[in-house]
Structure 1
Amino acid sequence: MIAQFTQRSGRTVQRSQIRGTSGAAASLHVGDKYPIITNGYFGDTSGSGQVYTPPPTVNFEDLGLVLKLTPLVHDAREMSLAVEAEFKVLTGEALNGIPVISNRKFTSACRLRDGEWAVIGGLVRRSETRALNGPAGLSTLPLVGRLFRRNDVTKDEGQVLLVVRPRVVTAAPADGLLSVGRFWTGSEGRPKAGY
């Protein structure tokens, strides 16, 4: 009988910055692009003459975290954020050679002050796999079967926490173009109104 214990622990903290404009969406992708064959030729490739096998069609799927933020600045101290977060991972399973992708999506809106932290979403993932290994027949005997078999238990746990901290960044006024405290709207060639 073999007794074995293994425990692993890890922690990853990723800090990213997105700079956007009030009213316009800004996005961030942290992860990989994974190729998935979506179309291919599986017919007969033998025969007389030249046989052409067309290449497969491949789509690239974004795995990892895709974050889309749309800020709306109310004043110099407060803003609203429209948040879309999507978390995609491979499940390890495949159906006809095509991998299965686990997808978690979160959509929300929040109103924050400049520099204020907000936890906008989280994901907890737990899985447990049990396997029984041993010689056929002997490992399934009542009472003495435990001497001939090995029970493997694999536990996997992961947590993702999404935290944002918006900052209002204003442009320094250029010489004589904008006065401090006023904001001009309209096209670049013809500003229409000052606020």
Structure 2
Amino acid sequence: TLNGREASIKLGDIVPYILSSGGVGGQVQVQREEVGIKLEINPTVNTDGFITVKVEPEVSTIFEFIGPDNNIPRVKSRKSSTTIRVKDGESIIIGGLLSNDRKQTLYKVPILHKIPWFGEKIFTSKNLVERKTDLIIQITPRIVVDNYTGIMKTNRMRSFEKNLLGKSEDGTAKNSELGAVELENTSTYEGIWNDTSSLPEQIESDEE
């Protein structure tokens, strides 16, 4: 992502469920619940080279179904928020997002489980599965330098412009021709320095 821009990642499911049915024309109202993992990151590059990262992870799961018909999902959510200052390439590890999921499965033998008195006890079985998980998130921010952003003016470059291009104290070029020199196919400072073979002749002509 760009400097100072928020990035988000969502990994999960959208669970639809019927909230109500019937009414005029037999209309059915369906709601959707989004569950899963959501991660929001907002990095800021400081002038000293460090990176300040704001991280907000969120984990949500369906714990159980409630309601008269047991069709409304009950969502359990865990969210954390932190701001960390790290160097370029250092890793950030966030843990402690514990979850305890319980899933119950009901098995029934067709027709036989409807026998009065003993059908439900003999031909019906329940299986309860409990799972504990700990989510660990690792983030490694890196600064990506664009090689085509242009030539940065270093102190050596400013000295070159002041001495050879004849800049005045107010920063304007005394020689308009020298100030309009075009630099072609030069991607580094040394390339600019070596590409000034024609400057001495122009300087001598100015002195004359």
Same fold by TM-score, threshold 0.5 exceeded?
Answer: yes
Preserved CA contact (<8 Å) 1:37 1:57: yes
Residue in 2 that maps onto 1:163: 138
Preserved CA contact (<8 Å) 2:22 2:28: no
Question: Structure 1 pair 153/114, CA: closer, same or farther in 2 (3 Å)?
Answer: same
Give the structure with the higher percent helix: 2
SS of the residue 1:56 aligns to: strand
Preserved CA contact (<8 Å) 1:35 1:61: yes
Residue from 60, 64, 69 that aligns with 2:41: 69
Question: Structure 1 pair 90/181, CA: closer, same or farther in 2 (3 Å)?
Answer: farther
Residue from 14, 23, 34 that aligns with 1:33: 14
Residue in 1 that maps onto 2:55: 83
CA RMSD of aligned residues (A): 3.2
Q: How many equivalent pairs are there?
A: 133
Cα deviation, 1:134-185, whole Å, max 9, x if unaligned, reads xxxxxxxxxxxxxxxxxx98542212111211111122225xxx22479xxx
Preserved CA contact (<8 Å) 2:95 2:134: no
SS of the residue 1:172 aligns to: coil
Question: Structure 1 pair 108/181, CA: closer, same or farther in 2 (3 Å)?
Answer: farther
1-structure distance, mates of 2:15, 2:101: 23
Preserved CA contact (<8 Å) 2:35 2:60: yes
SS of the residue 1:111 aligns to: strand
Question: Structure 1 pair 153/29, CA: closer, same or farther in 2 (3 Å)?
Answer: closer
1:36-55 correspondence runs (5 A) = 36-38=17-19, 40-43=20-23, 52-55=25-28
- Which of the two has higher C-alpha Rg? 2
Which protein has greater RCO, CA pairs closer than 8 Å, 6+ apart?
1
1-structure distance, mates of 2:63, 2:97: 15
1-structure distance, mates of 2:17, 2:50: 43
SS of the residue 1:116 aligns to: coil
Q: Does 1:99 align with 2:69?
A: no
CA shift at 1:128, angstroms? 8.1
Residue from 13, 19, 24 that aligns with 2:5: 24
2-structure distance, mates of 1:114, 1:156: 37
Displaced runs of 4 or more, over 4 A: 126-129, 152-155
Of 118-127 and 26-35, more deviation after overlay is shown by: 118-127
TM-score, reference length from structure 2: 0.53
CA shift at 1:122, angstroms? 2.6
SS of the residue 1:93 aligns to: strand
Residue in 1 that maps onto 2:99: 125
Question: Structure 1 pair 110/99, CA: closer, same or farther in 2 (3 Å)?
Answer: same
2-structure distance, mates of 1:71, 1:88: 24
CA shift at 1:41, angstroms? 4.0
Identity of aligned residues (%): 24
Residue from 82, 96, 105 that aligns with 1:108: 82
SS of the residue 2:37 aligns to: strand
CA shift at 1:78, angstroms? 1.5
SS of the residue 2:80 aligns to: strand
